[in-house]
């Protein structure tokens, strides 16, 4: 059994402890580090090279979106799952533009964190129900950036679902 190495990034020690407790229920997950600010997150990601980073957006010194961009440069194979309170469509879009694999609203973490992690580890995209529900009827387009991918990817996602649904997205080459 391959152990999934995880870095937790959140400025709340209490929330990091909560997530660690959830993750440590599984023997195949190992929390290898924690960071409470953006600079520490990039430093630890560079040193530890985790398989997965659970990343808050509203962290001190360097916000989560900037952190994700920086991590993409130094540890491009690490999967990033945002775990945050922000459900603003512009922020979610900016977060997913960093090539993060998922976005979980903290209010949904107790019920959806496992689903999100499993989807992300399979290479699928995941949006939690709280985020999707707040966007009822919104249409988003995600595209890659030329410098970050060798295969052009494009997907248009219509989020016209009820507030009790999560969105799983799989992007294929176009």
Domain 4-124, CATH among 3.40.980.10, 3.90.1170.50, 3.40.50.2300, 3.30.1490.20: 3.40.50.2300
Q: Which residues contact 32 (CB under 8 A, 6 or more apart)?
A: 5, 6, 7, 48, 50
Q: Which residues contact 55 (CB under 8 A, 6 or more apart)?
A: 9, 41, 64, 67, 68, 80, 81, 82, 83, 84, 100
Contact 71, 78 (CB under 8 A): yes
d(CA 144, CA 63): 21
Contact 127, 103 (CB under 8 A): yes
Q: What is the mean pLDDT of residues 51-62?
A: 97
Phi, psi of 23 (to 5 degrees): -65, -40
d(CA 36, CA 21): 17
Please give the pLDDT value at position 130: 82
Per-residue model confidence as pLDDT tens digits over 6-50: 999 999 999 999 999 999 999 999 999 999 999 999 999 999 999
How many other β-carbons are positioned within 10 Å of the β-carbon of residue 45? 25
First vs last Cα of the chain: how many Å apart?
Answer: 34
User: Per-domain residue ranges for the chain?
Assistant: 4-124
Task: Note the pTM of the prediction, 2 decimals.
Answer: 0.78
d(CA 57, CA 37): 10
Give 171's pLDDT tier (boundaries 50, 70, 90).
very low
Per-residue model confidence as pLDDT tens digits over 71-104: 999 999 999 999 999 988 899 999 999 999 999 9
């Amino acid at each position: 059994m391959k152990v999934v190495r995880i870095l937790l990034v959140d400025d709340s020690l209490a929330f990091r402890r909560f997530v660690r407790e959830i993750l440590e229920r599984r023997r195949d997950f190992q929390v290898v580090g924690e960071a409470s600010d953006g600079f520490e997150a990039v430093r630890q990601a560079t040193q530890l090279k985790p398989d997965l980073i659970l990343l808050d957006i509203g962290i001190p010194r360097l916000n989560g979106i900037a952190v994700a961009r920086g991590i993409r440069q130094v540890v491009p194979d690490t999967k990033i799952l945002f775990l945050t309170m922000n459900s603003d469509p512009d922020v979610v879009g900016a977060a997913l533009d960093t090539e993060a694999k998922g976005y979980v609203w903290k209010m949904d973490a107790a019920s959806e964190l496992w689903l999100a992690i499993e989807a992300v580890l399979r290479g699928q995209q995941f949006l939690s129900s709280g985020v999707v529900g707040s966007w009822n009827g919104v249409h988003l387009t995600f595209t890659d950036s030329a410098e970050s991918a060798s295969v052009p990817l494009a997907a248009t996602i219509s989020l016209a679902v009820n507030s009790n649904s999560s969105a799983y997205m799989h992007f294929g080459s176009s």
